[in-house]
Copies of this chain bind each other. A is one copy, B any other.
Amino acid sequence: MRLLLVEDDLILKDGLERSFVKSGYAVDVISDGEGANKLLTYQEYDVIVLDLGLPKLSGFEVLKRLRARGSNTPVLILTALEDTQNRVKGLDLGADDYLTKPFELAELEARVRALIRRGVSGGSAKISFGVLTFDTTNRQCMAGDIALSLSAREMALLELLMLKAAKVVSKTKIMEHLCSWDDEISENAVEVIVSRLRKKLNVFDIEIRTIRGLGYLLAKLENQHS
A145 to B223, CA, bound (A): 8
Q: Is A41 an interface residue (CB 8 A)?
A: no
A123–B74 alpha-carbon span in the complex (Å) = 10
Chain A positions 193 through 226: 1 when the CB is less than 8 Å from some CB of chain B, otherwise 0: 0000001100100000101111000010001111
Point out which of A93, A122, A152, A212 has the most chain B C-beta atoms below 10 A from its C-beta.
A122
The answer for the CA separation of A40 and B104 in the assembled complex, in Å, is 32
Count how many chain A residues have C-beta atoms less than 8 Å from C-beta atoms of the other chain.
Answer: 58
Q: Check A121–B72 contact: CB distance below 8 A.
A: yes
Cα(A28)–Cα(B213), bound, Å:
50
A205 CB → nearest B CB, Å? 15
Are B168 and A67 neighbours in the complex by a CB distance under 8 Å?
no
Closest chain B residue to A199, Cβ basis: B226
Q: Known: A96-B114, A114-B91, A147-B225. Contact between A140 and B121, CB under 8 A? A: no
On whether A152 and B72 interact (CB within 8 A), knowing A114-B92, A225-B147, the answer reads no
- In angstroms, Cα B88 to Cα A219, docked, is 32
Q: Are A168 and B139 in contact (CB under 8 A)?
A: yes
Tell me, in angstroms, the Cα distance from A74 to B168 when the chains sit together: 26
Q: Are A84 and B72 in contact (CB under 8 A)?
A: no
Question: Is A146 an interface position by the 8 A CB rule?
Answer: yes
Q: Whole-angstrom distance between the alpha carbons of A213 and B140 in the complex?
A: 13
Contact of A72 among B104, B113, B122 (CB under 8 A): B122
Tell me, yes or no, whether A106 is within 8 Å of chain B by CB: yes
Q: Evaluate contact between A124 and B214: CB separation under 8 angstroms.
A: no
Q: Does A131 contact B (CB under 8 A)?
A: no
Known: A88-B107, A88-B110, A151-B212. 7 other contacts (CB 8 A): A67-B123, A87-B110, A92-B114, A140-B167, A145-B223, A147-B225, A152-B213
